[in-house]
Amino acid sequence: MSSYGPDTSAPRKCRARDLAGLIGLLALLEGELMTEGVPPHLSSRIRDRLERAGLLEPAGTERELRQSISDLNHRLRYALGEYEEPPEPSTVP
């Protein structure tokens, strides 16, 4: 689990283009996971990293992994200013 609590804000600002880049990477990764384009060893490493950050429950399914990535993507979009309110999770297929 991360040393930051679930509602703790980051202590420093992030550049908009950094957020935009991360949003694009997360969208690409989510799409590749849907089409099984991510090798299992890489998917496992991504899963482990999200578990350590407290963004995915241990032993989560592939769908739960994609859900975690989607939710993170939308929270970053909120931070970038694309949404007025923090987004509610939307279910991934």
DSSP-derived secondary structure for 28-89: HHHHHHHTT-S-HHHHHHHHHHHHHTTSS-TT--HHHHHHHHHHHHHHHHHHHTS-SSPPPP
What confidence category does residue 4 fall into, taking pLDDT thresholds of 50, 70 and 90?
A: low
Give residue limits of the domains in the chain. 16-80
Global pTM reads 0.87
pLDDT digits (tens, 9 = 90+) for 12-21: 889 999 999 9
pLDDT for 10 equals 83
Q: Is the pLDDT of residue 69 over 90?
A: yes
pLDDT for 3 equals 60
pLDDT for 54 equals 93
